[in-house]
Amino acid sequence: MAEARVKRRFVAGAKCPECKAMDSIVLFKVNGVETVECIDCDYSEQQPDEKVAKKATGDVIGVFKP
């Protein structure tokens, strides 16, 4: 159980810039940093704010609010 638990949100309509897969992008926070990751390939990108979500141009499904 060494793996950190991270809440992942799928980004609807987002396309992976690497493998071009649709709806394979997940968005989550690592140490407060927004991170996007493709579940189909090894693509991942980190940005310090919400720009990532907006760049992905999709509606976020299942937003977790505290």
Q: Which residues here bind Zn ion, judged by CB under 5 A?
A: 16, 18-19, 38, 40-41, 43
Enclosing H/E stretch for 53: helix 51-55
Looking at the Cβ atoms of 15 and 29, the one nearer to Zn ion is 15
Which amino acid makes up residue 18? E
Looking at the Cβ atoms of 32 and 35, the one nearer to Zn ion is 35
CA-based max dimension of the chain: 34
In the complex, the smallest distance separating the C-beta of residue 5 from Zn ion, rounded to whole angstroms, is 23
In the complex, the smallest distance separating the C-beta of residue 22 from Zn ion, rounded to whole angstroms, is 10
Which amino acid makes up residue 1? M
